[in-house]
Amino acid sequence: MTPPNAVVDDQAGDTAGSGVGTAAASETAATPTPFQRPLPRTIAIANQKGGVGKTTTAVNLGACLAELGYRTLVVDLDPQGNATTGLGINIRDLQASMYDVILNDLPIEDCIEATAVRNLFCAPAALDLAGAEIELVPAFSREMRLRRALDSVRDDYDYVLIDCPPSLGLLTVNGLAAASEVLVPIQCEYYALEGLGQLLRNVQLVQRNLNPRLELSAMVLVMYDARTKLADQVVQEVRDHFGEKVCNSIVPRTVRLSEAPSFGQPIITFDPTSRGSIAYRSLALEVSGGAAQRAG
């Protein structure tokens, strides 16, 4: 089996060769890809399994889209707040968070924080959001809270990425109802496909009942370890199953990607030439198709 071209050789150290500079959108020839859609785009990053790379993908795809010049908002919908801290925001300093937006109708612009990366913003979450899952149950239009909240800022961003929690509860339903696309990270490990049927059924349920324009747009293979045969088998299996929905860019398993969050940095600032940086830059180009930003 030929390794996928987007995976940089795994045996060398973590730093890839030269030639990796900051990829400004203007320098990048626009190459339409199957993943390109008109801007603005709202993409829910979902998979009810924990630890499959949702947050890592939200943070790093977000940072790479911002680097390409797109105004990008990462909405943290996980009470763990990992996207929030991974973007360098101290949860203890927060005046407001997604809890207030979802439960108390706080305008989302009142909780959005800038990050150290130009063009990249975060709507933060903290542990209190865990209560939302229960408090929302009796609430009026409980599935549409996030969608309503985003309506007022959607035109301010080219990309809104929603980092969903590891469940299929009301918070994830809010994420799916607010999005036009779902991006699913899939770990290149045994049981990778387990649970995906349930996720796809939920996406269909949301499509039918809440959000007809929702589309499963992309599957992203992550945590690829070139040293295991199994990883290639999983890649093949996912491609056989989902065909053109699977992105060519594959994110390797690298220690640097797992270290970056504890420094509150996306990989492209933490280690700009690492394999993780290269992979997420490649993914950002693929997802955006190098599409021009909206005018104005």
Residues contributing to the site for ligand ADP (CB under 6 A): 50-56, 82, 166, 222-223, 251, 253-254, 257-258, 261
Q: Answer with the entry of ligand ADP, Mg ion, none that 66 interacts with (C-beta below 5 to 8 A by kind).
A: none
* Separation CA 117–CA 131 (nearest Å): 30
Min. distance of Cβ 261 from ligand ADP in angstroms? 6
How far is CA 204 from its chain centroid? Answer: 20
Identify which of residues 9 and 151 has a Cβ nearer to ligand ADP in the complex: 9
Q: Answer with the entry of Mg ion, ligand ADP, none that 265 interacts with (C-beta below 5 to 8 A by kind).
A: none
Helix 196-209 / helix 170-178 crossing angle, nearest 10 deg: 60
Identify which of residues 3 and 289 has a Cβ nearer to ligand ADP in the complex: 3
Min. distance of Cβ 42 from ligand ADP in angstroms? 18
**β-strand pairing of 113-114 with 120-123:** antiparallel
Out of 47, 55, 60, 72, the only residue in the binding site for Mg ion (CB under 5 A) is 55
Identify which of residues 189 and 215 has a Cβ nearer to ligand ADP in the complex: 189
- Residue 252 preceded by cis peptide, ω within 30: no
Note whether 56 binds Mg ion by CB under 5 A.
no
What are the DSSP E strand ranges found in the chain?
41-45, 72-76, 113-114, 120-123, 159-163, 181-187, 215-222
CB 132 within 8 Å of CB 174? no
Query: In 3D, which of 38, 39, 72, 37 has the Cα closest to residue 58?
Result: 72
Min. distance of Cβ 258 from Mg ion in angstroms? 13
Backbone angles phi, psi at 264, to 5 degrees: 65, 30
By beta carbon distance, the residue nearest Mg ion is: 55
* Separation CA 220–CA 47 (nearest Å): 11
Min. distance of Cβ 270 from Mg ion in angstroms? 18
Query: In 3D, which of 117, 42, 134 has the Cα closest to residue 79?
Result: 134
Identify which of residues 50 and 107 has a Cβ nearer to ligand ADP in the complex: 50
Out of 41, 49, 54, 275, the only residue in the binding site for Mg ion (CB under 5 A) is 54
Identify which of residues 51 and 243 has a Cβ nearer to ligand ADP in the complex: 51
- The H or E element spanning position 234 is helix 229-242
Q: Answer with the entry of ligand ADP, Mg ion, none that 41 interacts with (C-beta below 5 to 8 A by kind).
A: none
Interface residues toward Mg ion, by CB under 5 A: 54-55, 78, 82
